[in-house]
Amino acid sequence: MQIKAEEISQIIKDQIGEYETSIDLNETGTVISAGDGIARVYGVKNCMAMELLEFPGGIMGLALNLEEDNVGCAILGSVSGIKEGDLVKRTGKIAEVPVGPEMEGRVVDGIGFPIDGQGAINAKLSSKIEVLAPGVIARKGVHEPCYTGAKAVDAMTPVGRGQRELVIGDRQIGKTALCVDAIIAQKDTDVHCVYVAVGQKKSTVALIVEALRKHGAMEYTTVVAACASDPAPMQYVAPFAGTSMGEYFRDNGQHALIVYDDLSKQAVAYRELSLLLRRPPGREAYPGDIFYNHSRLLERSSKVSDELGAGSLTALPIIETQAGDVSAFIPTNVISITDGQVYLEPNLFFSGVRPAINVGLSVSRVGGAAQVKAMKQVAGTLRLDLAQFRELAAFAAFGSDLDAATQAQLTRGERLVEILKQPQYAPLPMEKQVTILYAGANGYLDSLPVETMRDYEDEVFSYIESNDASIFADLKEQEEFTDAIKAKLNTALDAFGETFKATKGLK
Amino acid sequence: MKQIILARRYAKALFAVCKENGKFDEYSDALQGLNGVFASDSSLADSLTNPLYPMDVREKVMEGIVASMGVDKVMGNFLNLLVEKKRAGVLPEIAEEFQIMVDEENNVSHGSVVSAVELSDELQAKVQATLEKLTGKNVKLTTSVDASIIGGVIAKVGDLELDGSIRTQLASLKDSIKGRE
């Protein structure tokens, strides 16, 4: 590339010409002590809570503790350049992040600066990091589904737009995978996504961004990454910043989905911050307001009323448990705040049930209100069937002679468990989910061996698409199993069952 | 860390006495003077605060200082009390806090002006008038010269800083050019 010195000189000349001199008028203070991501500042008398303070070198600090003789300040950046006696300037601004459609497709840090090397974000709007959640009048009941693309979740613990559904489980059992699939499932819908990574490895975040990009999900997704190497204050504010970005869509009558991955790391970061600020520790050394920290964050995810545009912000917070201990402090807190939880279990994961959702312990407090009629029709008996199956399976493990009814129930249960399995990065649209669940619930699978379920599912979709695509179209449009659709589907499933058996060499 | 809260308590007590007898300037001068000696001669501070010396010796040192300074009884008692309560080390902060309270009472604030070249009296008066208008208080100015700011002035009153130096303007010009890249 040819660089013309002449042109560059002209650009600089123009900019100098435009530059207006102004005298800086600042309220200032001095650093008393700095270290561990915290600085104490003397002066800055009129400083506001959550105000940004500017340290030398353009590093920003967040005023958290306003005390009689000093201001306790969390430093959003490297603390190493800050020393005692440094001048601190007030900015007069409460901490805010850029928001708007320009954020989509970008990877930003905890305070909205781009870290993906794609240049500056020219967002026209910015929003405060801490915003009060909408009040009672501004809200509306959750009534439309927000599909996660996972059959087990959408059928048994449905998530509605504006709901907060916790994803909880031990490390390495597919919590992130479930949520990333939920983001990918929003492709071709009007839902915008925000993925907040807190305290994760940079390599993990890079992989997730790569996966989202590969599946075409980055176009409508903002990734907010406060990684393990970022200072604790960044990890603490990142979920709030991400929520502000999601709220932009909610407040403009659009829909958004936000994933917090994960809130236990954010709680740890907040604990670190609080202890350094000498706030008194409570249970598990978490500060007294750790519950408020999570509740005010998650309350911001909501479905707003028609007068305000009927937008929604759906949240999928993730909590990592230690050895399945859901009665620890942070898990119980977040369970009580959210509108239900999806509980992932290591035993299921390692026995090959993936996503490893424990159907018994997972609930959605919004329930059927967030399901379309078709889903209710097929999923109504699913939970009960599975519960009975588990009970019988435990019982049947000891005996061999079983009556026909028990045998039938076991057969049905085994196949239902099998069709609820799903590979990663393959979220299914609603019409396909209900189709396969319909086949399972109506006995179309009972005569087939359990091992063939995976093949059956893959092939039945392509069969219906090529032979009677109107079934999917009708289901998508009418969202219920009418008699006409049932008739068409029954014929298709019968015909496919025959060819499937033939190709597999079954009787 | 500075013991500001503690210093404020002592300064407040002394100030309350001052309000009765009106000897603001006298006490302020005495404290500032002692503070100056403290800063210039570390052995004095040591002889008053070092726990290795017996208490009565330290008290005697302070009594000697009080006698040589010729301050009145109240101030003398105050200084002796500081040693007795083992707070002689807080004296610089007390002097500072006391000065702030006296300034508040007299509606005075202290400011400083940094300039690249020596300011003429006329200019200094102008800066002072501007600062007084801005703060609504009588401003006592101290001036200093720092060639590294290139030109213009940096004026400071309390927490307020007015930065009109060429150095800062060049830095922000640099930022504005860099920021648009």
Among the partner residues B158, B159, B162, nearest to A23 by beta-carbon distance = B162
pLDDT in tens, A255-284: 999 999 999 999 999 999 999 999 999 999
| Predicted local confidence at residue A180, as pLDDT | 96
Cβ pair A131, A247 in contact under 8 A:
yes
Residues of A that are catalytic: 365
For residue B104, is pLDDT > 60?
yes
Among the partner residues B159, B168, B177, nearest to A24 by beta-carbon distance = B168
| Predicted local confidence at residue A169, as pLDDT | 95
Q: Which residue of A has its CA nearest to B7?
A: A69
For residue A1, is pLDDT > 60?
no
| Predicted local confidence at residue A363, as pLDDT | 92
**What integer best gives the mean pLDDT of chain A?**
92
Residue B123, number of CB atoms within 10 A of its CB: 15
pLDDT confidence bin for A199, thresholds 50/70/90? very high
Flag the least confident range among A201-205, A279-283, A436-440, B163-167. B163-167
| Predicted local confidence at residue B181, as pLDDT | 46
Residues in chain B: 181
What whole-number percentage of chain A has pLDDT above 70?
98
For residue A2, is pLDDT > 70?
no
Among the partner residues A23, A24, A32, nearest to B2 by beta-carbon distance = A32
Nearest CA-CA partner of A302 in A99, A181, A132, A177: A132
CA distance A441 to A443: 6
Cβ pair A312, A255 in contact under 8 A:
yes
| Predicted local confidence at residue A399, as pLDDT | 66
Task: Assign A427 to helix, strand or coil.
Answer: coil
CA distance A99 to B70: 67
For residue A145, is pLDDT > 90?
yes
pLDDT confidence bin for A175, thresholds 50/70/90? very high
The residue ranges of DSSP E strands in chain B, in sequence order, are 108-115, 138-145, 153-157, 160-163
Number of Cβ pairs closer than 8 Å across A and B?
Answer: 52
What type of residue sits at position B101?
A: M
For residue A397, is pLDDT > 90?
no
A300 touches chain B (CB under 8 A): no
Q: Regarding beta strands B153-157 and A87-94, do their DSSP bridges make them parallel or antiparallel, or are they unpaired?
A: unpaired
pLDDT confidence bin for A3, thresholds 50/70/90? low
| Interchain proximity B160–A26, CB inside 8 Å | yes
A403 touches chain B (CB under 8 A): no
| Interchain proximity A21–B160, CB inside 8 Å | no
Select, from the ranges A7-11, A399-403, A462-466, the one with the highest average predicted confidence (pLDDT).
Answer: A462-466
CA Rg value for chain B:
21
Task: Assign A332 to helix, strand or coil.
Answer: helix
pLDDT confidence bin for A310, thresholds 50/70/90? very high
Residue A43 is classified by DSSP as E
pLDDT confidence bin for A286, thresholds 50/70/90? very high
A72 touches chain B (CB under 8 A): no
pLDDT in tens, A477-499: 999 999 999 999 999 999 999 99
For residues B37 and A31, which has the higher predicted lDDT (pLDDT)? A31
A89 touches chain B (CB under 8 A): yes
Q: Which residues in B lie closer than 8 A to residue A70 (C-beta atoms)?
A: 4
What whole-number percentage of chain B has pLDDT above 90?
0
Nearest CA-CA partner of A153 in A422, A457, A374, A345: A422
What type of residue sits at position B54?
A: P
| Interchain proximity B163–A32, CB inside 8 Å | no
Task: Assign A118 to helix, strand or coil.
Answer: coil
For residue B102, is pLDDT > 80?
yes
Flag the least confident range among A226-235, A243-252, A439-448, B163-172. B163-172
Q: Mean per-residue pLDDT for A387-404?
A: 82
- Please state the pTM of the whole predicted model: 0.87
Give me B143's structure tokens. Answer: 């001036």
| Predicted local confidence at residue A43, as pLDDT | 87
For residue A429, is pLDDT > 60?
yes
Beta sheet of A221-226, edge-to-edge order: A107-108, A221-226, A191-198, A255-261, A312-320, A166-169, A340-343, A363-364
pLDDT in tens, A84-119: 989 999 999 999 999 999 999 999 999 999 999 998
Placement of tokens 């698409």 in the chain: A465
Complex-level ipTM: 0.70
How far is residue A321 from each of residues A17, A284, A335, B9, measured CA to CA in Å? 59, 14, 12, 49
A24 touches chain B (CB under 8 A): yes
Instruction: Name, in order, each residue with C-beta under 8 angstroms of B51's C-beta and a sequence gap of 6 or more.
Output: none
What type of residue sits at position B160?
A: L
Q: Mean per-residue pLDDT for B37-66?
A: 84
Placement of tokens 């201001």 in the chain: A71
Q: Which residues in A lie closer than 8 A to residue B1 (C-beta atoms)?
A: 32-33, 40
Residue A323, judged by CB atoms within 10 A of its CB (0-12, 13-18, 19+), counts as exposed
Q: Regarding beta strands A340-343 and A312-320, do their DSSP bridges make them parallel or antiparallel, or are they unpaired?
A: unpaired
Cβ pair A44, A65 in contact under 8 A:
no
